[in-house]
């Protein structure tokens, strides 16, 4: 009788836990404003264990009587929470319910737009580009108030990007030209043209297009100064990456130097400039200084966010830690470099990139720690590519890994 009694107590505890979680879910219905929803999202992102449990229960009961009690507000919060947790299957189901409620209950253009955009962004993150296209086309077929019509060009932009991601560059460019004709070659859709060219690896064409975007922004008299400055900075940042794609390191760093001078408190610009210099064995002392400043700026910004209750811990940026490790590696300070690189890969979200694991492997090899290098490269090869350059890096890491294994085997045979 002991085992059934224990099982009964466990079941009762689970039921009690589910009831408490259900009460938490239903409270989300009361987040009726954007501000309240942001607060709830922030709270859930700070308590990932609870967020995960709430999402799992919501999906489990979604089609039950209790699930039908969750209104548009609760479902929207839970969908975004699932998305941030990278529980894509749950996010898809919740966003689909959000769209259903938007169309049948809320019946407002704003809620319909929000639901469609959530689905489109989710499918992009999942690299399900056919579904991006299908969802965009469904939105474009909608007939409704002026708010829907105003958003359609931006949905077409997403459609273009999905077609380009699928490799249908001719169709993507044809649609983009149509947008440019409709908007008198606006800087916004000219930027989309450059994006498609970059995706097609036509880097020189993309550079020329983004330079035209800068000129257009300069001459746009209707744009507010602060928006113009922000968009020019964004365009220069894209140009720096494009020049790097094209192998023009000098032009890439020139754009970043302009951005650093204009935005001395921007950690991203300082990190990127420092990293590119380090990666190409240039200005290593200045590169180290910039990256240290980036780490400090990032820390101060996160301390402010923690004080406001927007984040629950101050965690160093994995990309900046990688940059710091890499510049120290380039300066042959391998032991110091190792500590930064190890900290970078400890970040289970932002540190899981092939590039970071590759740097860690190189550092281990420089210290004669062959087995650790092999393990680092093996872990790196299990990560997903995040840029087109990762394909070439994957090939090089595979070669290094093969060579290290062969060297290890050869060493073992010599000992025998």
The predicted-structure confidence for 194-218, as pLDDT tens digits, reads as follows 999 999 999 999 999 999 999 999 9
The pLDDT mean for the chain works out to: 92
Instruction: Note whether residue 176 is domain-resident.
Output: no
pLDDT value of residue 5: 44
Average pLDDT over residues 148-173: 96
Question: What does the alpha-carbon distance between residue 253 and residue 241 come to, in Å, rounded to a whole number?
Answer: 9
Contact by Cβ (8 Å): 352, 380: no
For 76-85, 134-143, 265-274, 308-317, which range has the lowest pLDDT when averaged over its residues? 308-317
Residue 397 clears pLDDT 60, i.e. is over it: yes
Say whether both 302 and 329 belong to one domain: yes
DSSP 68: G
Instruction: Note whether residue 415 is domain-resident.
Output: yes
Distance of CA 400 to the CA centre of its chain: 28
Residue 388's pLDDT band (boundaries 50, 70, 90)?
Answer: confident
Residue 15's pLDDT band (boundaries 50, 70, 90)?
Answer: very low
pLDDT value of residue 390: 85
By residue range, what is the domain housing residue 391? 352-416
For 2-6, 152-156, 259-263, which range has the lowest pLDDT when averaged over its residues? 2-6
pLDDT value of residue 166: 96
Contact by Cβ (8 Å): 116, 135: yes
Average pLDDT over residues 276-281: 98
Instruction: Note whether residue 120 is domain-resident.
Output: no
Residue 12's pLDDT band (boundaries 50, 70, 90)?
Answer: very low
Contact by Cβ (8 Å): 192, 157: yes
Distance of CA 346 to the CA centre of its chain: 18
Helices within 263-317 (DSSP H only):
267-279, 284-307
Average pLDDT over residues 43-47: 86
pLDDT value of residue 23: 94
Instruction: Note whether residue 416 is domain-resident.
Output: yes
pLDDT value of residue 385: 83
- The residue among 283, 309, 343 that closes a domain is 343
Instruction: Note whether residue 68 is domain-resident.
Output: no
pLDDT value of residue 144: 81
Distance of CA 242 to the CA centre of its chain: 19
Number of domains in the chain: 2
Question: What does the alpha-carbon distance between residue 384 and residue 415 come to, in Å, rounded to a whole number?
Answer: 38
pLDDT value of residue 276: 98
Helices within 126-224 (DSSP H only):
129-140, 146-165, 169-182, 187-199, 203-219
Say whether both 295 and 320 belong to one domain: yes
Contact by Cβ (8 Å): 349, 300: no
Average pLDDT over residues 17-28: 89
Residue 408's pLDDT band (boundaries 50, 70, 90)?
Answer: confident
Say whether both 323 and 380 belong to one domain: no
- The residue among 314, 343, 372 that closes a domain is 343
Residue 42 clears pLDDT 90, i.e. is over it: no
Say whether both 334 and 372 belong to one domain: no
């Amino acid at each position: 009788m002991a085992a059934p009694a224990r099982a009964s107590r466990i079941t009762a505890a689970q039921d009690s836990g589910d009831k408490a979680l259900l009460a938490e879910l239903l409270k989300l219905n009361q987040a009726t404003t954007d501000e309240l929803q942001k607060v709830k999202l922030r709270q859930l992102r700070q308590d990932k264990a609870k967020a995960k449990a709430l999402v799992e229960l919501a999906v489990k009961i979604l089609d039950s009587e209790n699930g039908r009690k969750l209104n548009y507000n609760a479902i929207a919060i839970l969908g975004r929470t699932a998305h941030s947790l990278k529980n894509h299957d749950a996010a898809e189901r919740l966003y689909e319910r959000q769209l259903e409620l938007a169309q049948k209950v809320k019946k407002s253009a704003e809620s319909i737009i929000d639901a469609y955009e959530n689905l489109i962004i989710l499918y992009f993150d999942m690299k399900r580009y056919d579904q991006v296209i299908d969802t965009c086309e469904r939105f474009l077929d909608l007939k409704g108030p002026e708010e829907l019509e105003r958003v359609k060009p931006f949905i077409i932009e997403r459609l273009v990007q999905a077609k380009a991601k699928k490799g249908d560059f001719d169709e993507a460019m044809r649609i983009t030209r149509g947008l440019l004709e409709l908007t008198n070659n606006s800087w916004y859709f000219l930027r989309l043209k450059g994006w498609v060219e970059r995706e097609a690896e036509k880097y020189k064409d993309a550079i020329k297009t983004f330079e035209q975007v800068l000129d257009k922004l300069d001459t746009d008299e209707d744009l507010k100064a602060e928006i113009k400055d922000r968009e020019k900075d964004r365009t220069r940042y894209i140009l720096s990456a494009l020049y790097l794609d094209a192998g023009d390191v000098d032009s890439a760093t020139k754009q970043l130097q302009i951005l650093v001078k204009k935005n001395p408190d921007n950690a991203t610009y300082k990190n990127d400039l420092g990293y590119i210099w380090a990666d190409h064995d240039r200005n290593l002392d200045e590169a180290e200084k910039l990256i240290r400043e980036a780490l400090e700026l990032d820390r101060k910004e996160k301390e402010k966010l923690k004080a406001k209750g927007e984040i629950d811990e101050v965690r160093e940026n994995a990309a900046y830690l990688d940059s710091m490790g890499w510049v120290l590696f380039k300066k042959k300070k391998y032991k110091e470099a190792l500590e930064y690189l190890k900290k970078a890969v400890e970040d289970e979200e932002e540190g899981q990139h092939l590039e970071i694991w590759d740097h860690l492997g190189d550092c281990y090899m420089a210290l004669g720690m062959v087995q650790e290098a092999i393990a680092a490269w093996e872990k790196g090869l299990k990560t997903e590519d995040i840029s087109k350059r990762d394909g070439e890096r994957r090939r090089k890491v595979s070669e290094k890994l093969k060579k290290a294994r062969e060297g290890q085997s050869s060493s073992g045979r010599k000992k025998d």
